[in-house]
Amino acid sequence: MTEHAHRFQPEEWKFACAADTLSYCTQKVLDPAYFIEEVYRDHDGDWQIFHNRGEADSPPKLFCLGCVCDFDPSVMQLHDLAPGWFA
C-alpha cells in the first residue's frame, strides 16, 4: 500500500498497530451508501470490518485501518478491543 495521509491527527490514533495496518473488510465498508455494522478483532489481532448487509461469501478487501477511521471516526473508539471480541 502506498503512503498516504489521513484526516485525523496522529495523536488521535489510539490503536496499538500502525495507522496503515491492513484490515479485512467486506466490499462496501468505505462506500457512503452503507455503514459499518461490525468490527471484529480475531485471535491473531487482525481487524475485520463488516458493513451492514455484508455478503459473507464475497471476497474480502484489504483496507488500511486509518482510512476506515477516516470514513467512520467511531471505529476509533474500538482501539482497545481485545482479540476475539467484536463490537
Interface with Zn ion by CB under 5 A: which residues? 64, 66-67
> Smaller CB distance to Zn ion: residue 8 or 35?
8
Q: Is 58 exposed, middle or buried (0-12, 13-18, 19+ CB in 10 A)?
A: exposed
| Whether the Cβ atoms of residue 56 and residue 49 lie closer than 8 Å to each other | no
**Hey, what amino acid is at 5?**
A
> Smaller CB distance to Zn ion: residue 54 or 66?
66
> Smaller CB distance to Zn ion: residue 19 or 41?
19
Min dist. Cβ of residue 66 to Zn ion (A): 4
